[in-house]
Structure formats: structure tokens, C-alpha cells
Structure 1
Amino acid sequence: MPLRLHPDVTMAVTDDGAVLLHQRTGRYWQLNNTGVLVLRGLLDGDSPEQTADALVDRHRADLADARRDVSALVDGLRAAQLLREV
């Protein structure tokens, strides 16, 4: 399931992560650096499972926790209409 930012969403990278702004609604989300790592993996075509595996490799996180966190981020971004399937 390839994912993309909604067409009305812009992303601005900051020193602390990134900000996603939905230009039509005016709502925004702030992501920390780990959230940006997850989002970039997903936008580059990695599956949520591959993205979770990358978190485990990079941060030595627990795999079950990483998968749950990636899923929660995807669900939250979809609910906010910031992210969609292609």
C-alpha cells in the first residue's frame, strides 16, 4: 500500500523533526525526528512492517512496539487527512 501526503499537505523539515500543514483545513501536525524517519520510509514506498524493522535496526526498539507505533502514526495521519493511499 503505497502512501502519499494528501495533495493539500505541505511538509517543512525543522531541526527537531517536521511540521505537516493541511492548507485547506489549517490543521497541522508536528513530528519529531523519529516520526519523520517513519514518514519518509512510508513515502519512499516501504511497507509499515519494513519501516518498523528500520526503527528496530536504528534505535534497537522492540519490534512489537515499533510496529504498534508505526501503525498508530499512519492511523493518526490518515484520520487527520494528511496521508492517503495511492
Structure 2
Amino acid sequence: MALKFGADVSTAETDYGTVLLDERAGAYWELNPTGTLVVRTLMAGGDEADAVAALAAEFAIDPDRAKRDVDALVQELRASGLAE
């Protein structure tokens, strides 16, 4: 499922990943390069399987590990209210 950030969330890519600003809470989140790849894939309309494949290919990690990482990141972003 594609990912969409709430209207109160601003994003900025840096040399080290992506920074998310939750304007409601005034809190910053920082995604490392793997998190950035997952978010970029999902926001471009890809689903979680696409994000797993991209992560496994880009960082040469086991697909099962990539799936756990993608699931954990998406769950955390949704639970925090940053993403829908």
C-alpha cells in the first residue's frame, strides 16, 4: 500500500537520509538511508513488496530481514500519526 504523510508532516532529504518534521508535536524524526529508500518507494506509489525488493537489492540484505524492517518502519510511521 502506498504511503502518504499527513498534512502536518514536512520532509527534507539530506546527505544522510530524510528528516521528518511533525509540525503538530514539533518533533523531528530522522530516517537513515534504508528508511529513506523505503519511504521513497512507498510514496512513489509502490507497495510494501516493492519496498522490500528495493531494500534487498540496494543493500544486499536477506529479503526476510528486509520485510521485517519495512513492516516495522511502516507500522511505526502509522502508529506515530505521521503517515496514513
Matched length? 84
Higher RCO by CA contacts (8 Å cutoff, separation 6 or greater): 1
Distance 2:28 2:48 in 1: 22
Q: Is the 8 A contact 2:3 2:39 kept in 1?
A: no
The residue aligned with 1:67 is 67
Q: Flag the structure with higher strand content.
A: 1
Gaps spanning 5+ residues in structure 1: where?
none
TM-score, structure 2 as length reference: 0.93
Percent of matched pairs sharing the same residue? 45
The runs of at least 4 aligned residues of structure 1 exceeding 6 Å deviation read: none
- Structure 1 residues 14-72: Cα deviation after superposition (integer angstroms, max 9, x where no partner): 11111101111112210011111110001011111111011111111101100000000
The residue aligned with 1:46 is 46
Whether 1:79 and 2:79 are equivalent positions in the alignment is yes
Whether 1:21 and 2:14 are equivalent positions in the alignment is no
CA RMSD of aligned residues (A): 0.9
Gaps spanning 5+ residues in structure 2: where?
none
